[in-house]
Amino acid sequence: MMMKERDLLLEEPQTEEAEEPLHEVRVATTPVYYPPEFRWTNDQERCARCKRCIHQCGWKALRWEGRVVADDSKCVGCHRCEAFCPERCITILPNPQAFKEHGLWSVGHRRNLWKQAETGGVLLAGMGNDLPYQVLWDHLVLDACQVTNPSIDPAREPMELRTHLGRKPEAVEVRQNGDGFELVTALEPGIELSTPIVFAAMSYGSISLPAQKSIAMAACELGTLWNTGEGGLHDEVRPFANRAIVQCASGRFGVDVDYLNSGAGVEIKIGQGAKPGIGGHLPGEKVSQDVSETRMIPVGSDALSPAPQHDIYSIEDLRQLIFAIKEATNYEKPVSVKIAAVHNVAAIASGMVRAGADILYLDGFRGGTGAAPTTIRDHFGIPIEIAIAVVDQRLRDEGIRNQASIIAAGGIRSSADVAKAITLGADAVAIGTAALMALGCTLCQKCYTGRCSWGITTQDPQLTRRLDPNVGAQRLVNLVKAWSEELEEMLGALGVNSIESLRGSRERLRGIQLDRTTLEVLGVKPAGVGA
């Protein structure tokens, strides 16, 4: 049919007969059995036969046959059933089924290979890189005051966590005005944070509306920021937009002039730590009526975010889009540019600042995602610890560090990681995975299936209604408040009373079990070496 239509053309096609595309012959003739990852068990004596576990399982792994029966092949180990079992009689174990051990071929490698031999498809993964790479946070330790310099008790003395994001002037000029002073220098637009912790970009579509609303409400209550991701702004979260960074990415979903002006700032998303260099595909199944309205695309259509932004092929092009956004927002909003941390991150960051970015958002290779090809998630990019250090140093060396703030993300697990990130040179950190864990996530990494039993990474109304935004927001507020209090404790131990005094103060860090080159790249001395 195709050829016939093409024959109508005035010039004959010169191409040879097209071969059948490979994906149309994906039928395995010899199905290979591969064992499930988990073994679901329940204690029959304690089981109350309440069937709650069956209802709670979003994966349909459990069924009733006079007792609860599990299909282990469907269990993802998310522990939703266990959390709701009144008798605490459920135990989920790693499948003890033993394979002949092999130092090269892990069971994970074997499982993936079998799956691909059967389907011929690209492997997908959710959340962040789960391979056991060295975690540099765990090889950095902070200094504390002893004898020669006094520490500060944060319970008695004020501690300042306030952080300002945006372009700062080289110097400020003030003049006396009566009894007071007034600022003569005109400041660029900035954003004040009550604490140097913001929420990472997660779109409505990748996460559910209750999940996004929880984060948005928490950001407003905390006086920090949330980020729309590339999913537009749903009416339900619009009231919280004054604390939102609105994202403009390659698909331009939901982006119009009102959207750009509705947030505290605008972010151009170039890349993401979990999938450097590639775009995103929100499958048509997830483009419900509501998702369609916020993304401004028809219901059921694939939402494809191309790998690059096709109006940005260079630093000069990036500058063009930054200033298009500044023009469209009357120079009233700071513009952030988000990139994945990659090998040449320092030079790229320098270019971004020179292109006019007010905020650099660096996403390390452990950053999370709703869906990414497993190979990209696990093998691309560099650790955020390295990226912060080299970018901060490069911008200082070039005398342009004041021109942009650095937000660091991708694997922040605790307030200690926050403190170390800031000491390495970040202005603030963003938390994504940690925020979702506060909402119930147990890191089963199946976000890409859209079946999240915790109602976080799904659009199924049966599942999303499990998450109450008021409860979710409170848990997020609790988490960030607790971390902030711990930050104050750490500042006290370090003998400083402001997070500003710790920023980029790498002399207060020491490395343990790190090789000389890594220490040099981090700009950190080894433990045991004094000032």
Partner 1 sequence: MAKTMAAVQAAETREEMGIVIDAQGMHYRDLNRRLREAATEGEARFRLVNVNGQRYIGTGLKGDLHLEICGVPGNDLGAFLSGPTILVRNNAQDAIGNTMDSGSIIVKGDAGDVIGYGMRGGTIFINGNVGYRVGIHMKAYRQKSPVIVIGGAAGDFLGEYMAGGVIILLGLSERNGDPLVGNYCASGMHGGEIYLRGKVDPRHISPHAKIAQTKPTQIEHIRPHIAEFCTHFGYDADKVMGEPFFRLTPVSHRPYGAKYAT
CB proximity list for 525: less than 8 A, separation 6 or greater? 507, 510, 511, 519
Q: How far is the CB of 311 from partner 1 (least distance, A)?
A: 5
Closer residue to partner 1 in complex, CB, 112/194: 112
224 vs 201: CA distance, rounded Å: 13
243 vs 222: CA distance, rounded Å: 10
Q: How far is the CB of 302 from partner 1 (least distance, A)?
A: 5
Other beta carbons within 10 angstroms of residue 281's beta carbon come to 13
188 touching partner 1, by CB under 8 A: no
The Cα angle at residue 194 between residues 188 and 197, in degrees rounded to 5: 95
Q: Are 265 and 334 in contact (CB under 8 A)?
A: yes
Q: Are 394 and 374 in contact (CB under 8 A)?
A: no
| Burial class (CB within 10 angstroms; exposed 0-12, middle 13-18, buried 19+) of 77 | buried
Site for partner 1 in 206-265 (CB under 8 A): 248, 250-252, 255-258, 260
Closer residue to partner 1 in complex, CB, 356/383: 356
34-to-31, 299, 494 alpha-carbon distances in Å: 9, 36, 53
Closer residue to partner 1 in complex, CB, 65/332: 332
Q: How far is the CB of 366 from partner 1 (least distance, A)?
A: 22
Q: Are 159 and 492 in contact (CB under 8 A)?
A: yes
Q: How far is the CB of 170 from partner 1 (least distance, A)?
A: 17
311 touching partner 1, by CB under 8 A: yes
Q: How far is the CB of 318 from partner 1 (least distance, A)?
A: 13
Q: How far is the CB of 112 from partner 1 (least distance, A)?
A: 8
Q: How far is the CB of 109 from partner 1 (least distance, A)?
A: 14
Per CB under 8 A, the list member of 17, 18, 101, 171 interacting with partner 1 is: 18
Q: How far is the CB of 337 from partner 1 (least distance, A)?
A: 17
Q: How far is the CB of 201 from partner 1 (least distance, A)?
A: 18
Q: Where are the beta strands (DSSP E) in 241-288?
A: 244-248, 265-269, 280-282
14 touching partner 1, by CB under 8 A: yes
Per CB under 8 A, the list member of 17, 19, 23, 100 interacting with partner 1 is: 23
143 vs 510: CA distance, rounded Å: 8
SS (H, E, C) 53-112: HHHHCCCCCEEECCCEEECHHHCCCCCHHHHHCCCCCEEEEECCCCCCCCCCCCHHHHHH
Identify which range of 11-19, 27-35, 343-351, 469-477 contacts partner 1 by CB under 8 A.
11-19
| Backbone dihedral angles phi then psi of residue 397, each to the nearest 5 degrees | -60, -35
Q: How many CA atoms lie within 13 A of 385 on its CB side?
A: 28
Closer residue to partner 1 in complex, CB, 228/250: 250
Site for partner 1 in 422-481 (CB under 8 A): 449
Closer residue to partner 1 in complex, CB, 254/276: 254
Site for partner 1 in 68-127 (CB under 8 A): 115-116, 118-124
Closer residue to partner 1 in complex, CB, 26/162: 26
Q: How far is the CB of 308 from partner 1 (least distance, A)?
A: 10
- For 518, the token pair is 């890594």
Site for partner 1 in 326-345 (CB under 8 A): 327-330
46 vs 204: CA distance, rounded Å: 40
In the stretch 269-308, what mask flags binding to partner 1 with x, by CB under 8 A? ------------x-xx-------x---xxx--xx-x-x--
513 touching partner 1, by CB under 8 A: no
Closer residue to partner 1 in complex, CB, 106/375: 375
262 vs 298: CA distance, rounded Å: 23
Strand partners, 421: none
Identify which range of 5-13, 77-85, 99-107, 211-219 contacts partner 1 by CB under 8 A.
5-13
Q: How far is the CB of 236 from partner 1 (least distance, A)?
A: 19
504: left (phi over 0), alpha (psi -120 to 50) or beta: left
How many chain residues touch partner 1 (CB under 8 A)?
Answer: 53
324 touching partner 1, by CB under 8 A: yes
Give the position of tokens 């509306």: 209
404 vs 357: CA distance, rounded Å: 7
Q: How far is the CB of 81 from partner 1 (least distance, A)?
A: 22
Identify which range of 99-107, 170-178, 324-332, 339-347 contacts partner 1 by CB under 8 A.
324-332
15 touching partner 1, by CB under 8 A: yes
Give me the residues that bind partner 1 (CB under 8 A), please.
2, 5-6, 8-11, 13-15, 18, 23, 26, 115-116, 118-124, 248, 250-252, 255-258, 260, 281, 283-284, 292, 296-298, 301-302, 304, 306, 310-311, 320-321, 323-324, 327-330, 449
